[in-house]
Amino acid sequence: MPKAKAKTKTKTKPTRAPSAGPRFELDRLDAVPALVGDHRDFLIVAGLAGTARDIAALTDDGRHTYAMAGAMGAATAMGLGLALARPDRRVLVITGDGELLMNVGSLATAAVLNPPNLSIVCVDNGYYGETGYQQSHTSLGVDLERIAAGSGIAATRTVETADQIEDASRLLREGNGTSFVLLRVKPTDPPAIRRIMDPAACRVRFRENLLGHP
């Protein structure tokens, strides 16, 4: 063992091959809008913190969005309930790595039912940005696309480079089963935006917009 150790010792930093590991290089400010595309194609449920702000910025705090600021871990199951209730509409869940990890079993729950109108995006920056950028599991080896695939979601993608966005964006719209896209981004701040934080007001406006009554 000591011999091997001496052998690998080198003064120059080894350059990592592109395939050596996850690449957290895209900027969420560009990549999230590019991936979601025309947001009016979806009813949107956003998890707390970063993705709530991504979506509020993209949709101008739209009435077809329900973006959380608490209930961490609720986004996927909430989107599932909405998708089952509205088979006539496409539902997009967009959430962060930390939020999804908190209830990662909800991927299994969604996969078993496999509603064709449910698409899930995880914006994975490998950090808990809202609480001061502590490292999350996903920058320490946990791969949420593999967990989604292992849960039984057949249509999954990882997007790490700009040229992978178009295909994934199409998948979110055209899947004939539940789809999952892991969007790896740099650990940088989401858009700064003020949005309505009253969860009851957001419920009422979502229902009024969709159903015509509160």
Partner 1 sequence: MAAKKAKNAQADGPRWAHELYDLLRENGVTQFAYVPDAGHKVLINRSLDDPDAHSVRLTTEEEGVALCAGADLGGGRAVLLMQSSGVGNCINFLSLVKGAQFPFLTLVSMRGDFGEGNPWQMPMGQATQPVLEAMGVVCIRVERPEDVIPSATAGITMAFKSGQPVAILLTQKLIGAKKF
The residues binding partner 1 (CB under 8 A) are 43, 45, 66, 68, 70-86, 89, 103, 105-106, 108-109, 112-113, 199-200, 202-203, 206-207, 210-211
Q: How many CB atoms lie within 10 A of CB 211?
A: 9
Nearer to partner 1, 51 or 103 (CB): 103
Q: Are 106 and 118 in contact (CB under 8 A)?
A: no
Q: How far is the CB of 212 from partner 1 (least distance, A)?
A: 10
Q: Are 106 and 136 in contact (CB under 8 A)?
A: no
Packing angle, helices 50-59 and 28-36, rounded to 10: 60
Residue 26 CB-half CA count within 13 A: 24
Helix (H, G, I), strand (E, B) or coil at 166: helix
Q: How far is the CB of 33 from partner 1 (least distance, A)?
A: 23
Q: Are 13 and 19 in contact (CB under 8 A)?
A: no
Nearer to partner 1, 43 or 144 (CB): 43
Q: How far is the CB of 67 from partner 1 (least distance, A)?
A: 12
Nearer to partner 1, 69 or 165 (CB): 69
Residue 25 is classified by DSSP as: -
Overall size of the chain counted in residues: 214
Strands 134-135 and 127-128: antiparallel
Q: How far is the CB of 100 from partner 1 (least distance, A)?
A: 12
Nearer to partner 1, 79 or 126 (CB): 79
Nearer to partner 1, 82 or 168 (CB): 82
**Cα 141 from Cα 139, distance rounded (Å):** 6
Q: How far is the CB of 76 from partner 1 (least distance, A)?
A: 8
